[in-house]
Amino acid sequence: MAALAPPVAAIRIAVRRALTALPADGPVLVACSGGADSLALAAATAFVAPRLGRRAGLVTVDHGLQEGSAGRAEAVACWAVEAGLDPVEAVPVTVAGRPGGPEAAAREARYQALVDAARRHRAAALLVGHTRDDQAETVLLALARGAGPRGLAGMPERRDLDGVPLLRPLLDVTRDDTRKACAALGLTPWEDPHNADPSYARARVRADVLPVLLRALGPGVLDNLARTARLVAADTAALDDLAAAALAAPAREASPGDGPVGGGVVVGVRAVGGGLSVAALAALPTAVRTRVLHAWARELGASPAALSHRHVAALEALVTDWHGQGATHLPGGLRVARRAGRLLPLGGGPG
Ligand SMILES: Nc1ncnc2c1ncn2[C@@H]1O[C@H](COP(=O)(O)OP(=O)(O)OP(=O)(O)O)[C@@H](O)[C@H]1O
């Protein structure tokens, strides 16, 4: 028997690790574009899942944006059936008419179709093929746009997508390895023209920025960027937890010796009679306060997509830079004002 190529083995190990952590019920569904990353993922899942006594299927979404896209989706689906995956679906979606740029609209349509398929098949999880290279690109793009820790934390290995667990088993695998694995298995991946289109920032990072960094700083750069994402993600999760605890608890009079947060003590911020206590907010470290304000704005009804750091900064100014300014406007027509030591939504929203 021919020796197994190392990238094929590494990808199977990564998939095995992801699948063994899942609850027993329901198939896993691989989201596959036909590109090298998700094709290598699908091939590894087709191999590993039955050996773990689990069903594995595949969904490929046809955005209908390029000539021949339906044929490409059909070809991926035919390969998947031959590879023993079941269920297999090629789902056409309509991208035109959705809000946002074409890329965002395509992503939204794709994720909706994937979630619908996962629900239809009562899937235990959806698997996507993001690699360590994708993670490094994500971190660089976040750095360049000043995204803050949430962006620098990159893509999580696991997240909830409208109630469906979304897994990224290949975050420790390089794109080079997914290509090598496809070659070793005799698979011909589809080359998405968008990946080389310089009008996309990610494509420019991929083609121009990462190669320079790798040449100048050595091959450890990809690893280091991905590690940065993991470290930042852990810190961010801890700060989010502190903010959630502060937002859940009633404000009380601060007494000398109270750390703002620390020693297991979290100062609550809910004011008696509604709204948030300005004094309690002021006692929090900035990193926790901004998270509290962000979470509260969402609770009031501001859509996360529309809520920007400028809105949160304006809310924060009501606490830390108060000079009698008027109400702050939030997305969705919401307004928040400072009144008698409290931040209050105007117009009788939830407090
Ligand atoms: N048309 C599609 N149908 C199903 N899943 C998709 C589709 N496009 C992308 N995905 C999923 O989302 C992941 C990320 O896609 P994206 O296009 O951002 O990355 P990529 O690096 O080009 O991945 P790939 O090489 O697998 O196309 C893919 O690995 C795949 O799991």
272-286 pLDDT per residue, tens: 889 999 999 999 999
The confidence score (pLDDT) of residue 256 equals 55
The confidence score (pLDDT) of residue 229 equals 95
In a domain? residue 1: no
Q: What is the mean pLDDT of residues 12-25?
A: 94
Contact predicate 133/174, CB 8 Å: yes
End-of-domain residue from the set 232, 266, 284: 232
The confidence score (pLDDT) of residue 192 equals 84
Positions at the binding site for ATP: 33-38
Distance in angstroms (rounded) separating the CA atoms of residues 329 and 314? 8
Please, what sign has the CA dihedral across residues 338, 339, 341, 347? negative
DSSP for residue 331: G
How far is CA 241 from each of CA 85, 261, 278, 293, rounded to the nearest angstrom? Answer: 39, 11, 20, 14
Q: Three-state DSSP class for 206?
A: helix
Tokens coding 210: 């990462």
Within this chain, do residues 192 and 338 fall inside the same structural domain, yes or no?
Answer: no
Within this chain, do residues 281 and 225 fall inside the same structural domain, yes or no?
Answer: no
Q: Supply the mean pLDDT for the chain.
A: 92
- Among 15, 28, 37, 85, the mutation site with the greatest number of ligand 1 atoms within 8 A of its Cβ is 37
Within this chain, do residues 194 and 318 fall inside the same structural domain, yes or no?
Answer: no
DSSP string, 41-104: HHHHHHHHHHHTT--EEEEEEE---STTHHHHHHHHHHHHHHTT-SSEEEEE---TT-SS-HHH
Tokens coding 72: 């490409």
Within this chain, do residues 88 and 204 fall inside the same structural domain, yes or no?
Answer: yes
Which residue do the tokens 């023209």 mark? Answer: 193
66 ligand 1 Cβ < 6 A: no
In a domain? residue 241: no
Within this chain, do residues 112 and 186 fall inside the same structural domain, yes or no?
Answer: yes
In a domain? residue 244: no
Within this chain, do residues 35 and 114 fall inside the same structural domain, yes or no?
Answer: yes
Strand order in the sheet with 328-330: 276-277, 342-345, 334-339, 328-330
Interval between CA 192 and ligand 1 midpoint (Å):
9
Q: How much is the CA Rg of the chain, to the nearest whole Å?
A: 24
Q: Which residues contact 147 (CB under 8 A, 6 or more apart)?
A: 141
Give residue 349's pLDDT band: very low, low, confident or very high (50, 70, 90): very low
Find the CATH number of the domain harbouring 340.
Answer: 3.30.465
Within this chain, do residues 47 and 188 fall inside the same structural domain, yes or no?
Answer: yes
Give residue 264's pLDDT band: very low, low, confident or very high (50, 70, 90): very low
Interval between CA 288 and ligand 1 midpoint (Å):
35
Within this chain, do residues 273 and 226 fall inside the same structural domain, yes or no?
Answer: no
In a domain? residue 122: yes
Of residues 316 and 351, more confidence is placed in: 316
Q: Three-state DSSP class for 255?
A: coil
Closest CA to 307 of 345, 334, 339: 334
What is the tally of structural domains in the chain? 2
Give residue 203's pLDDT band: very low, low, confident or very high (50, 70, 90): very high
End-of-domain residue from the set 173, 202, 232: 232
Within this chain, do residues 189 and 334 fall inside the same structural domain, yes or no?
Answer: no
Q: Which domain holds residue 309?
A: 249-345
32 ligand 1 Cβ < 6 A: yes
pLDDT at 1 over 80: no
In a domain? residue 237: no
In a domain? residue 134: yes
In a domain? residue 93: yes
Q: Which residues contact 190 (CB under 8 A, 6 or more apart)?
A: 33, 34, 35, 39, 72, 76
Positions at the binding site: 33-38
* List of E strands, the chain: 28-31, 56-62, 88-92, 125-127, 158-161, 164-167, 261-262, 265-266, 276-277, 328-330, 334-339, 342-345
Cis (ω within 30 of 0) for the bond into 87?
yes
ipTM of the complex: 0.93
The confidence score (pLDDT) of residue 148 equals 85
End-of-domain residue from the set 232, 265, 299: 232
Give residue 254's pLDDT band: very low, low, confident or very high (50, 70, 90): low
Find the CATH number of the domain harbouring 66.
Answer: 3.40.50.620
- Among 28, 29, 33, 206, the mutation site with the greatest number of ligand 1 atoms within 8 A of its Cβ is 33
Interval between CA 33 and ligand 1 midpoint (Å):
5
Within this chain, do residues 220 and 254 fall inside the same structural domain, yes or no?
Answer: no
Measured from the Cβ of residue 234, the count of other Cβ atoms closer than 10 Å reads: 10
* List of E strands, 93-245: 125-127, 158-161, 164-167
Within this chain, do residues 202 and 294 fall inside the same structural domain, yes or no?
Answer: no
pLDDT at 87 over 70: yes
Within this chain, do residues 310 and 222 fall inside the same structural domain, yes or no?
Answer: no
In a domain? residue 33: yes
pLDDT at 257 over 50: yes
How far is CA 49 from each of CA 8, 12, 33, 54, 178, rounded to the nearest angstrom? Answer: 15, 10, 20, 5, 18
Summarised one tens digit per residue, pLDDT across range 35-81 is 999 999 999 999 999 999 999 999 999 998 888 899 999 999 999 99
